Structures are given as C-alpha cells and as structure tokens.
Amino acid sequence: MFNTEKYQNIINKLLDNGLEPSTNWNGKINSKTLFLRHDVDFSIDFAHSLAKFEFNQNVQSTYFFMLTSNMYNLFSNYNRTLVKNIAEMGHKISLHFDPSAYESLEKFLDEKKIFENTFEINIEIVSIHRPRLFLNDNNINLSGIAQTYQDIYFKKNEIYI
C-alpha cells in the first residue's frame, strides 16, 4: 500500500535533482521535465487524498480516470466532485482508456467526448490501461491524441536539450 513518507522521499529526491514537475504534456520537454502520472484503476477517494498531499508539496501531477472501471463510478455526484476538486488543486485530469473494453479503438472518441463534456476540459494526453498490444507499437496515438507510452516521454532523443 501507498506510504506517504516513502512517496515524499521520492518526490524530494526528484526535486533535489532539479527535476521540474509539469502537466503540460504537449509543451516543450527538456531533460529536467518531470511528468508525474497516476492511473486511477481503483479508488477516486485515494486519488483525491494523494492529490491533496501533492498539492501541499506544491507538486502538480496528472490523474487519469477510467470510464470503464469495475471499481468506481466516475459519474456519481460524489466522484465527479472529487475529480473536479483534483483539477482545482492545479493537477491535470484526463482519461485512462481501456482498449480491451471495445471492439474498435474508435470508441476512444466517445469516451473522450463524454469526459470532456463532464469535466469541461480538453483532453491532450491519454493513458492506456494495460497497454498490451500497444507496446508493440508504442508510438501509436489515439485518434490524434498523444498517449503516455510514446517514446517522447520515455526515451532520450533530439528534443531533449
């Protein structure tokens, strides 16, 4: 289980080494850019407490939520309020998409529209739940939207300065 003290130590080490947390996935990335990402598979309550912890550390991260979770209902009034509050703390919120829930990847666009309308945001980055086949071609995007397994976020390349 998550341990706040250990997480604090990790955050401190990253910050002490000059890394700079960012939620601007499509902005300029350099060797100091740090994307902290939370794929929320189980508990929005827990995500919310983590978001508060990070907020108190003055650290912003990105929270990805599922529409197809068996563990939570993203659209309950209570959970929508928590997710909006996470965004209000300065964190980014977006979609944690499970491609195995559908026959066609095009269904991503349905989820995207629902998520954007519900939370009044524009999705610019997606995290894929259990990517499996996506790892064969990790640079694939979803209907033009970037996803977190792309090389740009994992590999050193010419864009780093």
Residues that bind Zn ion (CB under 5 A): 39, 41, 129
- Residue type (1 letter), 22: S
Smallest gap from residue 72 Cβ to Zn ion (A): 12
Which is closer to Zn ion, CB of 135 or CB of 161?
135
Instruction: Report how far residue 39's alpha carbon sits from residue 10's, in angstroms, rounded to the nearest whole number.
Output: 18
Smallest gap from residue 40 Cβ to Zn ion (A): 8
**CB count in 10 Å sphere of residue 52:** 13
Smallest gap from residue 94 Cβ to Zn ion (A): 13
Residue nearest to Zn ion (CB): 129
Which is closer to Zn ion, CB of 39 or CB of 124?
39
Instruction: Report how far residue 64's alpha carbon sits from residue 126's, in angstroms, rounded to the nearest whole number.
Output: 7
Helix (H) or strand (E) segment spanning residue 49? helix 44-56
DSSP code at position 68? S
Smallest gap from residue 83 Cβ to Zn ion (A): 16
